[in-house]
Chains A and B, each alone.
Chain A
Amino acid sequence: MEDIQLFGIQPSHRLAITILSIFLFALILELVRRDYLKERYALLWLATSAIGLFVGIIPGVIGQFARVFHFQMITMLFVISFFYVLGIVLGFSIIISKLSERNRRLAQEVALLGNRLEHLEQSRGST
Chain B
Amino acid sequence: MKSRVLVIIPAYNEAESIAKVIQSLKDHVPEYSILVVNDGSTDATEEVVRRFHGVDLINLPFNMGIGNTMQTGYKYALREGFDIAVQCDGDGQHPVQQIAKIVERVEGGDADMVIGSRYVSDTNYAPSFSRRVGKSLLSRIVNSVVGGGITDTTSGFRAANRAVIATFANTYPDDYPEAEALVIMHKHGLKAVETPVDMLPRQGGRSSIGPGRAAYYIVKVSLAIFIGVFKKITHAPGESAEESEAVNAAAFHEETK
Residues of chain A having any CB pair with chain B under 8 Å:
101-102, 104-105, 107-108, 110-112, 114-115, 118
Contact = CB atoms under 8 A, between A and B. Distances in A.
Interface of B: 37, 56-62, 64, 68, 71-72, 75-76, 79, 174, 239, 241
Most buried by B among A101, A105, A107, A108: A108
A123 B64 CA distance: 30
A115 B61 contact: no
25 contacts: A104-B64, A104-B68, A107-B61, A107-B62, A107-B68, A108-B68, A108-B71, A108-B72, A108-B75, A111-B37, A111-B58, A111-B60, A111-B61, A111-B72, A112-B58, A112-B72, A112-B76, A112-B79, A114-B58, A114-B59, A115-B56, A115-B57, A115-B58, A115-B76, A118-B57
Contacts of A102: 239
A3 to B, nearest CB: 51
Contacts of B62: 107
A53 to B, nearest CB: 36
B61 A110 contact: yes
A111 B59 contact: yes
B174 A104 contact: yes
Specify the main secondary structure of chain A where it touches its partner. Answer: helix
A50 B56 CA distance: 58
Nearest to A102: B239
Contacts of A112: 58, 72, 75-76, 79
A105 B56 CA distance: 20
A107 B59 CA distance: 10
B239 A107 contact: no
Contacts of A118: 57
A104 B64 CA distance: 8
9 tightest A-B CB contacts, nearest first? A108-B72, A115-B58, A111-B60, A111-B58, A107-B61, A104-B68, A110-B61, A111-B72, A111-B59
